[in-house]
Structure 1
Amino acid sequence: MFLGSIVFDVLLPGDSRSLKEKRSYLRPVIAALKKFEVSAAEVGDQDRHGRAQLAVAVVASEAVHVREVLDRCERLVAGRPELELLSVKTRLISGEDLD
């Protein structure tokens, strides 16, 4: 078993001046990520209007599959024209490391 996670630090458009506007940008991105059968959520900078941290987690029996899914997620977020991707942190953990 392998666990993978990826955290995106993103800059939102200048017109996202309220938390409601911020959520209107993030909601469709999170929904698109979940189509890859992952867990996805906003996990940081929740009170900042122009910034967000999104995280994705995936579990699979093979590390290759976990990496492929995380790569697809990264391409999706990087390809969103309304977001500026500032940084990406990826982590892969073997189930044996959890013992």
Structure 2
Amino acid sequence: MSAWVGVLEFDLLLGEVFSLKQKRSVIRPLIAELKRAYAVSVAEVDHQDLHRRAAVAVAVVAGDPAHVTDVLDTIERQVSGHPEFTLVSAHRRLRGPED
């Protein structure tokens, strides 16, 4: 049996957001949407004290590396298409049974 873990970290620049409360109103729905649609783990992992920046990480575990890659590709396309923010960067890591 082998398990593959994929992690995708997003650096996001939020648009018309002027408070941490407004930031939460943008980030929380994104996190809930990704969890619901793809059965992945998602969390805001950095920039919690900045109101116009967010770092969000997504983790996927599967027995097939192609499935992990497909899910992460789909999530990256979905996040990059959101009008509420700009995707500044995305970093991906894939770990397999040999790592």
TM-score range, shorter chain: over 0.9
Q: 5+ unaligned residues in a row in structure 1: which ranges?
A: none
Report how far residue 96 of structure 1 moved: 2.5
The equivalent residue for 1:11 is 13
CA distance in 2, matches of 1:7, 1:31: 16
TM-score by length of 2: 0.93
Report how far residue 84 of structure 1 moved: 0.3
3-state DSSP of counterpart to 2:34: helix
Report how far residue 36 of structure 1 moved: 0.3
Contact kept? 1:8, 1:85, Cα under 8 Å: yes
2:47 is the alignment partner of 1:24: no
Report how far residue 32 of structure 1 moved: 1.3
Report how far residue 83 of structure 1 moved: 1.0
The equivalent residue for 1:47 is 49
TM-score by length of 1: 0.93
RMSD of aligned residue pairs (Cα, Å): 0.8
CA distance in 1, matches of 2:64, 2:12: 29
Seq. identity, %: 52
Q: 5+ unaligned residues in a row in structure 2: which ranges?
A: none
